[in-house]
Amino acid sequence: MISPVATTPRANLVMRALADPTRMAIYERIARRGESSVVDLTGFARVSQPAVSQHLKALAEAHLVAARREGRMTFYRALPHGLAPLSTWIGQLEAIWEQRLDRLDDYLHALQRNEKHRER
């Protein structure tokens, strides 16, 4: 029997944070560059600074990014384990599909054996 997979509140938060295409693009940009300022991200995302700040707030609440202030500038970096809850959930789903495919493979082998047995 395959056990059901339930997402954790953290995984749900990460999925909600990355569900918005602009927010996902901002996160990818930060992850690729290592660190980005709000000004850089506003130019990249082509949305207003308040909109970028809202996206960054959602990413921070999901533990995907962290902020660092330097004078009047704020810089954001991706957190190394921010995607871990999502990765864990995907791994659980992968295990379910592997179990299902293994059961299908067993079933197909049994059908082949039965067919060969009938042919004799």
CATH code for the domain in which residue 30 is found: 1.10.10.10
The answer to whether position 48 is within a domain reads: yes
The answer to whether position 63 is within a domain reads: yes
The answer to whether position 114 is within a domain reads: no
Number of independent structural domains in the chain: 1
**78 within 8 A of 48, measured Cβ to Cβ:** no
Return d(Cα 24, Cα 45) in angstroms, integer.
Answer: 10
Find the domain containing 33 and state its range.
9-78
The answer to whether position 3 is within a domain reads: no
Tens digits of per-residue pLDDT, 71-112? Answer: 999 999 999 899 998 888 888 888 788 888 878 877 888 888
| Mean per-residue pLDDT over the chain, rounded | 88
The answer to whether position 2 is within a domain reads: no
Tens digits of per-residue pLDDT, 19-64? Answer: 999 999 999 999 999 899 999 999 999 999 999 999 999 999 999 9
- Tell me the pLDDT band of 1, cut-offs 50, 70 and 90: very low
The answer to whether position 33 is within a domain reads: yes
Confidence at residue 82, expressed as pLDDT on a 0 to 100 scale: 92
**59 within 8 A of 17, measured Cβ to Cβ:** yes
**104 within 8 A of 69, measured Cβ to Cβ:** no
- Of the CA atoms within 13 Å of residue 117, those in its CB half-sphere come to 6
The answer to whether position 106 is within a domain reads: no
Residue 2 has pLDDT above 60, yes or no: no
How do strand 65-70 and strand 36-37 relate by DSSP bridges?
Answer: unpaired
Model confidence, pTM: 0.74
Residue 68, classified by CB atoms within 10 Å of its CB into exposed (0-12), middle (13-18) or buried (19+), is exposed
The answer to whether position 32 is within a domain reads: yes
